[in-house]
Amino acid sequence: MTNDHQKQEIIDLPEIHVPPSNEEKTFSLLIYILSFFTAIIGPLIIWLLKRNESEFIDYHGKEYFNLVISFFVYEIIAALSVIILIGAILVPLVSITFIVFIILGAVKSYQGEYYRFPFIFRIIK
């Protein structure tokens, strides 16, 4: 039997993160910058080598790969929509948005922020 007078409040407190070091900021920045030269292998190597050493690098590695997976799905949908002619607009729009998000992620990571991209699937947690 529950007592209606005793209600528990759940308070959602923000996570407390240790400010990242300059080295952590640099490696997280490299995850995004290397994606322009090697979309998967460069960021994957940095993330796999440094994720156990730094919560910050692990966070940005996961965000980057969630971003890549999400935009891969978006590009497939946009490419399939070429059949109904809207894809001719969607494919370049999705590509430009992906590049803008990579640049935004690079800037935010170098500023030491735990930035969450909008509109992406959180597959890697």
Residue 38: is its pLDDT beyond 70? Answer: yes
Please give the mean pLDDT across all residues of the chain: 88
Q: What percent of the chain has pLDDT over 70?
A: 87
What pLDDT was estimated at residue 18? 80
Q: Evaluate whether 75 touches 90 at the Cβ level (below 8 Å).
A: no
* Residue with token string 């690079």: 106
pLDDT over threshold 90, residue 8: no
Ordered by start, the domain boundaries in the chain are 22-107
pLDDT tens digits, 39-87: 899 999 999 999 999 999 999 999 999 999 999 999 999 999 988 888 8
Whether residue 7 is predicted with pLDDT greater than 80 in this model: the reply is no
Q: Which residue has the tokens 């919560």?
A: 55
pLDDT at 90: 92
Conformation bin of residue 9: beta by default, left when phi > 0, alpha when psi is -120 to 50: beta
Q: Is 118 exposed, middle or buried (0-12, 13-18, 19+ CB in 10 A)?
A: exposed
- Over residues 86-95, the mean pLDDT reads 91
pLDDT value at position 10?
46
Dihedral sign (CA 112, 116, 121, 125): positive
